[in-house]
Amino acid sequence: MNQVIGASVSRKDGQAKVTGTAIYSAEHQIPDLIYGCLVTATIASGRIRAIDTREAEQASGAIAVFTHRNAPQVFNPNENISRLSESRLPLSDDRVHYAGQIIGLAVADTFERAREAAHLVRVEYEPQAPIVEANKATYVPAPQWLGEDLTYEQIDVNTGNVTTVLASAATQIEAVYTTSMELHAPMEPHAIITHWQSPDMVTIYEPTQAVLMSQRTYADLLGLPTERVRIVSTYIGGAFGCKFLPWPHSILCAAAARELNRPLKVVVSRRQMTANTGHRSETEQTLRLGALADGKLQAIEHTAKSITSPLEDFPEACTIITPAMYAAPNMRLSQELAVMNVGSPTFMRAPGECPGMWALESAMDELAWSLNIDPIQLRLINQTDQHQRKNLPFSAKYFAECLEVGAKQFGWQDRPLQVRSLTRDGKLVGLGMASTTFPGYRGSTSAKVRLLPDGTAHVMSAGNDMGTGAYTVVAMTAAETLGIAVDKIRVELGDSTLPDGGVAGGSQMTASLTPAVKLACEAVLRQAQAQSAQQASEQLKQSGRAAFEATASAAPGEELEKFAFQSWGAHFCELTVDEAIGRVQITRWVSVINAGRILNAKTAASQIRGGVIMGIGTALMEEGHFDPNTGYPVVYDLATYHYPTHADIPRIDVTFIGEPDFNFNPMGVRGIGEIGINGVSAAIANAIYHATGKRIRSLPITPDKII
């Protein structure tokens, strides 16, 4: 049997997805299904003075209209159980905190009639002046992010503190970097069907990155024992963080369906999604780097600001990454958060790290130019073997190798060292690089494996595949451990009736779930007392027994006190700039990534490419603003929100290097979902500087900033 792990295996779910047989949440055919359409606020702050639903209720096909006056019953969340994207329960009072906030739900026998009824709801507001401009907001220290302070100071007693060290440093860089608000744009919009089988038993079809966490939340809010809520999330058409926790529309749908005693579907429109299912906040960051003449950093000061809604303390945690990236005896990090009358921000691929690395990797490039040092050399002399906040050594770190391999593949050493010195077809050509990194996260999971007499095996877990390739790596892990072919493995994921599979967030599904799958397969072989799965299947056939079956769990342990787990990489970008029209075209891309053992070469490379493409969007295109008059995002669908298409993307060469990280888990794998996006926008801005001599510190780099 050839080794399966590390091979290039096409997605197990690929054919179902491209042929349309994969059923997404909104597509479940349920008899007697009715449809809900959200009514949303058209002011950004204030209260509802009057809401008239009479006309809506009499519209043809209308079944019910819910507002704050007759909100369906939802129990107050237990803070130790429920995890919500927005902690205010839907329709809980007459307050409006942001434009697009849900203020009602019209239900009818068809979607079109529900939409018509929603439009017939008359609302009278008592508006207040909203805060929708960042320069009018009041900033306060940001709360913790994943249990860590974002404001923090590290002082070297021998040299003083950041302020004095920066003042006396041989070279200093100080610059302000900004990023735009970004909208989530998964192919599958937010959608939910809730089907109450009885007054105390509900099935919820909804795309979610955290199946059992979602199950516990719904059970808490609906006042049910956990096992009376079933979550089905078989296929997800992209999530990127916005489908991590339930949103108000989801809770409203579940509660309304119970009151109506009918299966109910709510699909959030693209336009509604821009306002009420999360975005990445804009950021403003100031970086000050002080270095010796040889490039050795003496001090780093990194301050950041982001915006949240009146309903959630959600910081875009830019400063979280800095102590992992470069060694500096003095470091000061601070982050502030302001409240505006906008929808709640949420997780978006590498939340915090992505804008944080944009600023840090741009500043490092500025430092390299000012010292006349190769930017790769500057990174090599400043990399750290230890996480400076956790004071733990990194496990299986191959950052230097990423830089070296990437430089060689890309031909970095051959580039001219002057700006504006390369041209092609009348356009300026620039080359740039930046580093990338992302923490290695891992959670507790369980999986069940059943080996059958026909020589096939069935792997089951509530863990899910949000489009990343989890079905395939789970099958590969089982195939390798059992010694049978990948196509003999059936994988069932994304159903809360199966063992807890952890969460698909923080790039942790593969590192969390595959160790449990491996253990469950080993347990099956032990149970059969067989050398191979084939032998075990023979036993089943002869004995007439139906299956060997085992469930196993895997969880992180003591290693978390011994090591810091982090993945590493480098991006290299070549681009052309047409200065006359301000057009940037990326022409070549090389990414080299160190993420422990790579389980599926094909889907892993696709994850990195997807991250790079999303990063190109961040760098050059994605731009969201809140209209100061209405408080709505001025971009509102896939036509008005500019993001990359095929014509914007060159060939992206991806190479993985480094040994398996067996300190981290028995599969030796770290995550790859988010690391691809980090550093991309800096590599592009750095290449634009090389091409044009123009340092652009504000994203996205649209043509007006080039000309």
Query: Can you tell me whether residue 535 is helix, strand or coil?
Result: helix
Instruction: Report the distance separating Cα 473 and Cα 476, nearest Å.
Output: 5
What is the nearest approach in angstroms of ligand MOS to the Cβ of residue 347? 4
SS (H, E, C) 124-168: EEEECCCCCCHHHCCEEECCCECCECCCEEECCCCCCCHHHHHHH
366's tokens: 């500025």
* Cis peptide preceding 700, ω within 30 of 0: yes
Query: Can you tell me whether residue 705 is helix, strand or coil?
Result: helix
Instruction: Report the distance separating Cα 79 and Cα 70, nearest Å.
Output: 25
What is the nearest approach in angstroms of ligand MOS to the Cβ of residue 210? 9
What is the nearest approach in angstroms of ligand MOS to the Cβ of residue 611? 11
Instruction: Report the distance separating Cα 25 and Cα 3, nearest Å.
Output: 35
Q: What is the CA radius of gyration of the chain?
A: 26
Residues 6+ apart with CB under 8 A from 35: 107, 108, 109, 110, 111, 113, 114, 264, 265, 266
What is the nearest approach in angstroms of ligand MOS to the Cβ of residue 508? 8
Nearest CA-CA partner of 382 in 371, 316, 405: 371
Instruction: Report the distance separating Cα 182 and Cα 347, nearest Å.
Output: 11
Active-site position among 206, 284, 312, 674:
674
The torsion angles phi and psi of 648, rounded to 5 degrees, stand at -90, -10
Nearer to ligand MOS, 351 or 515 (CB): 351
What is the nearest approach in angstroms of ligand MOS to the Cβ of residue 283? 15
What is the nearest approach in angstroms of ligand MOS to the Cβ of residue 86? 16
Instruction: Report the distance separating Cα 427 and Cα 443, nearest Å.
Output: 49
Query: Can you tell me whether residue 310 is helix, strand or coil?
Result: coil
Q: By the criterion CB under 6 A, which residues form the site for ligand MOS?
A: 209, 239-241, 244, 347-349, 351, 505-506
Nearer to ligand MOS, 65 or 324 (CB): 324
Nearer to ligand MOS, 326 or 347 (CB): 347
Is beta strand 264-267 parallel, antiparallel or unpaired with respect to 229-232?
Answer: unpaired
Nearer to ligand MOS, 506 or 515 (CB): 506
Nearer to ligand MOS, 505 or 660 (CB): 505
Give 345-363 as a DSSP string.
P---SSTTHHHHHHHHHHH
Instruction: Report the distance separating Cα 446 and Cα 219, nearest Å.
Output: 21
What is the nearest approach in angstroms of ligand MOS to the Cβ of residue 351? 5
- Whether 674 sits among the annotated catalytic residues: the reply is yes
532's tokens: 């191979």
What is the nearest approach in angstroms of ligand MOS to the Cβ of residue 28? 24
What is the nearest approach in angstroms of ligand MOS to the Cβ of residue 239? 6
Q: In the complex, which residue's CB is closest to ligand MOS?
A: 241
Instruction: Report the distance separating Cα 704 and Cα 127, nearest Å.
Output: 36
Nearest CA-CA partner of 174 in 377, 425, 367, 16: 367
Nearer to ligand MOS, 146 or 176 (CB): 146
Q: Is 251 left (phi over 0), alpha (psi -120 to 50) or beta?
A: alpha
Instruction: Report the distance separating Cα 489 and Cα 478, nearest Å.
Output: 7
Nearer to ligand MOS, 253 or 675 (CB): 675
What is the nearest approach in angstroms of ligand MOS to the Cβ of residue 571? 19
User: How many residues are given for the chain?
Assistant: 707
E strand residue ranges, 340-456 = 386-387, 392-393, 423-424, 427-439, 445-451
Nearer to ligand MOS, 329 or 494 (CB): 494
Nearer to ligand MOS, 441 or 548 (CB): 441
What is the nearest approach in angstroms of ligand MOS to the Cβ of residue 463? 14
Nearer to ligand MOS, 471 or 689 (CB): 471
Query: Can you tell me whether residue 113 is helix, strand or coil?
Result: helix
Residues 6+ apart with CB under 8 A from 106: 36, 37, 39, 56, 62, 64, 65, 114, 115, 117, 118, 120, 121
Nearest CA-CA partner of 156 in 330, 368, 417, 337: 330
Nearer to ligand MOS, 352 or 375 (CB): 352
Nearer to ligand MOS, 244 or 626 (CB): 244
Are residues 519 and 554 in contact, defined by beta-carbon separation less than 8 angstroms? yes
Q: How far is CA 535 from CA 197, 269, 452, 539, 541, in A?
A: 43, 53, 11, 6, 10
The secondary element (H helix, E strand) that includes residue 51 is strand 46-52
Q: What is the 3-state composition of the chain as percent helix, strand, coil, each rounded to the nearest 5?
A: 30, 25, 45
The torsion angles phi and psi of 575, rounded to 5 degrees, stand at -145, 165
Q: Which amino acid is at 38?
A: L
What is the nearest approach in angstroms of ligand MOS to the Cβ of residue 507? 7
650's tokens: 């060159």
What is the nearest approach in angstroms of ligand MOS to the Cβ of residue 145? 12
Nearer to ligand MOS, 239 or 266 (CB): 239
Which residues are catalytic, by number? 674
